[in-house]
Amino acid sequence: MTQPLLEVRNLRTYLSSGGRTVKAVDDVSFSIPKGETFCLVGESGSGKSISALSVIRLLPQAIATHPGGEILFNGQDMLTLPEASLRSIRGSQIAMIFQEPMTSLNPVFSVGEQITEALQLHHPTMSDAEAVERAMLALEQVQIPKARERFRDYPHQLSGGQRQRVMIAMALACEPELLIADEPTTALDVTVQAEILRLMRQLQDDTGMSTLFITHDFGVVAQMAQQVGVMQQGKLVEVGNTAQVLRQPQHAYTQQLLAAVPENLARCRPRRSDFSPTMLTEDVGLKSDLPALLSIRNLKVWFPIRKGILRRTVDHVRAVDDVSLDIPQGQIVALVGESGCGKTTLGRAIVQLEKPTSGSIQLQGQELTGLSARELRPLRPKMQIAFQDPQSSLNPRLLVETTLTEPLKAHGRCANHEERIEYAAKILADMQLSRDTLWRYPHEFSGGQRQRIGLARALVLNPAFIVCDEITSALDVSVQAEILQLLLKIRAEHNLTLLFITHNIGVVEYLSDQTVVMYKGQIVERGTTAEVCGNPQDAYTKKLLQAVPRLWG
């Protein structure tokens, strides 16, 4: 039998702080042959990233210990190698793509300088010109737009998806034997994700590179991995051939994770008629006589490009360009498209967080564009927004109680503070959160709990319409399933209308009544979700759907 490139045997990684020890990785064993991909899946806190950081020995020695186990890379035990030997392996033989590129890239160096530094550090004989050319080629391979121009840009000048691509380019540039990829495609559009996965597979074929791939996307697992391991609370509860684990999972936790995948949720989803007699079923499609809660006509949101000493406007970024759309009462409309297509700008313009350049937005027949802040204030309770990142959108200095009762007080809801407390507690109960949530701060909750608090804040004024901006993109698959089911429940109970902004086609197919596709600031296709996802007409929509990694192929 061929010697595996990486073999992890009975690994234990314990983290100690404040007199408390956490068994982050507890007796984990797996191996990766040359040229193959091993996927680690599991929820946040299960030990996936700690396992990867243990392999490359990047955990701080002050808090991390390895009471047992071996990590054999090319026959060498990484746990016993001196620091000098580890430095010669890191980057050149083992490279890592980190999950959060903003904290991994150096903010004071351009992206080109950081890639060329990595290349010349591991290839000392490489000339400056060759390093620059290799770095530019790496940026082009990961589809950075105008790569040669972006070579001199700094990390803060790039979008989140572009920064992730820079991290991938840096890792792949040195052509390592083992690539550790920690959620490398989470921030990427589905089309770019497909291209990155294709590039990684091609590099494997060309160089025989092995990959330790950490993800929560089972579609990516099905597409990339020969073997998969499922982690729960620091232990590897199931390991096996990918097809076998995905189709015939043996462990209850694996079965639970797979049941929460949107593709599987859709198979057991109740008909919408079970929620409310006014809701539509997936079979009958849209009714033409449903009243439009929101009407958008010829909406434009342009941002000026100013240059020169006098900062004259030389052009515009046409973020939203002549968009017209009706959203019926009680419907969930999914808005999909790649980063930069204008989805979020459209959502923010609807709720008047972004002022339109021109066009009309009417909510229940009331024109919103052109109104002053004072004129908008009575209309604010009718329209709310739930943001993508509740960590940054919730005030860290305010108790949840204050976050929920302040809007009620500002808009004259409830007779006194005690009534506002009771109403806030009721909304939290609807979000499946306990009453004592009121007396805690945002940092005391998990990501999924914070997202529910963000939804509670949006619901507390009993709005008619909510914009949900990528609210499930960073969540574990099981937490995502809970949020989606919760949205369907509150839609039925409150007869809410939702604009759901997302890039996850599986979520679209499960949740929405209608789907609207945006590209370069314009709507290129719209219709019932069954029509758009089942029989797309526009070439761009077809490209999006073809790029989606499917669990069942």
Domain boundaries, the chain: 1-93+178-259, 101-175, 272-393+462-546
Q: What is the pLDDT of residue 39?
A: 95
Q: What is the pLDDT of residue 160?
A: 66
Residue type, 307: K
Q: What is the pLDDT of residue 340?
A: 79
User: Can you tell me the distance from the alpha carbon of 413 to that of 399, in angstroms, rounded to the nearest whole number?
Assistant: 19
Q: What is the pLDDT of residue 109?
A: 93
* Equal fold, 1-93+178-259 vs 272-393+462-546: yes
User: Can you tell me the distance from the alpha carbon of 275 to that of 500, in angstroms, rounded to the nearest whole number?
Assistant: 19
Fold of 1-93+178-259: Rossmann fold (3.40.50)
Q: What is the pLDDT of residue 187?
A: 65
Element (H, E) at 147: helix 147-150
What kind of architecture, by CATH, is found in domain 272-393+462-546?
3-Layer(aba) Sandwich (3.40)
pLDDT means per 10 residues in the chain (553 residues)? 84 88 92 94 87 92 91 93 89 85 84 92 89 90 82 84 83 89 80 82 85 89 92 93 93 92 69 37 44 93 88 88 94 90 92 94 93 92 88 88 94 92 92 90 82 90 92 80 87 90 87 93 94 93 88 66
Tokens found for residue 256 = 């639970």
Q: Which of 491, 522, 530 is nearest to 332 (CA)?
A: 491
Q: What is the pLDDT of residue 267?
A: 56
CA 31, chain centre distance (Å): 28
- Tell me if 467 sits within 8 A of 366, measured CB to CB: no
- Residue 43: how many CA atoms within 13 Å on its side-chain side? 19
Q: What is the pLDDT of residue 17?
A: 78
